[in-house]
Amino acid sequence: MISPRFLVSVQKGDSMNLMKINEIRTVDLGRTACFIMALLLLMASHAHTSVDSPYQSPARPFGLEIVDTVKLAGSDDASSDFQNNYLPTMSGWGNMELTAPSFTDLTSTIALDPSKISLATQYDTRVYFIGENTNYKNTLGFNTSGGGITEGDPLLIFPDASTANKRKKQTPLLSGDFVDLGTIESGSGLDFFLIADGARGGTDVFSTQTSSNPDGLEHALVFARPDSPYLFIAFEDLYGETNGDYKDLLVAVDIGRANVGALTNMPEPSTLFILSSFIGLVVYRKYRMDSIEDTAGSS
């Protein structure tokens, strides 16, 4: 017969062992949690973050301030995606005849009214420099509360939108360099303006709002692909020019797929998928009903 004292001793020993096991498990879980946290921090430290360009133009035409500093091309994930998947195509557009009626067909783009750029949904907006073809040192800016620089809240994007084979003080930009405009609220208009030769004291300001232009002429063309988050904007920098090529400054504006879809009256891909699924369901039900009626009629 087993002694009750022995049973109690065994039970106490088992309890102590279980406590030790639980303590070991707790320590292991704590170590695992610390390891996961350290791994996440390591991954975050290696994530791409945007990097300031070493060449920031000091030009401030009309005393306007910059919205943010110019960042290096490809220095974060979004700009790397633009650099690899969109910039080559848009750079190619700059070699085409932008005013030709065939341009939209050849590029699968839609021409938009420059004076009606607005955001249907809030978005962290960004502008990428593509290129320029002019002797001027133009300045690019934007305004969410008016046209040009005489009203609203005008700010500079690229104080000196000049480029060459390498970045330097006189030509601070390369293709793909970008500036973040910050979060633009839904319902906001977006006016972009060019100050012709602004980095050298030029005073002619040409806006996407044609009514604000001193010569009353259109100085910007805007195109968009419905399946893209970008607007492609091309500027003409000569006063009174009626046969311009609109290649004096080329930029891409990331406003998000939803906003491009709203401007081009095209829904987002997810909306198209839901719509096509619904249509497919309706067609299938119609087919089933017709089949049932045919079966009932023949019986």
Tell me the CA distances in angstroms from 250 to 22, 137, 247, one per residue in order: 65, 13, 6
pLDDT tens for each residue of 94-146: 999 999 999 999 999 999 999 999 999 999 999 999 999 999 999 999 999 99
Is 274 within 8 Å of 262 (Cβ atoms)? no
Indicate the number of domains in the chain.
Answer: 1
In a domain, 116, yes or no: yes
Does residue 135 lie within any of the structural domains? yes
What is the C-alpha separation between 29 and 104, in angstroms, rounded?
A: 59
pTM for the structure as a whole: 0.76
Report if residue 272 sits inside a domain: no
Residue 273 pLDDT exceeds 70: no
Q: Picking from 57-71, 254-268, 275-289, which range would have the lowest pLDDT averaged per residue?
A: 275-289
Question: Which tens digit of pLDDT belongs to each residue from 142-173?
Answer: 999 999 999 999 999 999 999 999 999 999 99
Q: How many CA atoms lie within 13 A of 141 on its CB side?
A: 34
Structural domain harbouring 179 = 61-263
> Is residue 132 included in any domain, yes or no?
yes
pLDDT at 89 over 90: yes
Whole-angstrom Cα distance, residue 117 to residue 242?
23
Q: Is residue 253 part of a domain?
A: yes
What number is the average pLDDT over the span 61-69? 98
Q: Specify the pLDDT at position 113.
A: 97
Radius of gyration of the chain (CA): 30
User: Residue 86 falls within a domain, yes or no?
Assistant: yes
Banded pLDDT at 289 (limits 50, 70, 90): low
Domain-located, residue 7: no
The residue assigned the tokens 């067609």 is 283
**Number of Cβ atoms within 10 Å of the Cβ of 153:** 10
3-state secondary structure of 178: strand
From first CA to last CA, the distance across the chain in angstroms is 84
d(CA 235, CA 203): 16
Give a yes or no: residue 293 inside a domain: no
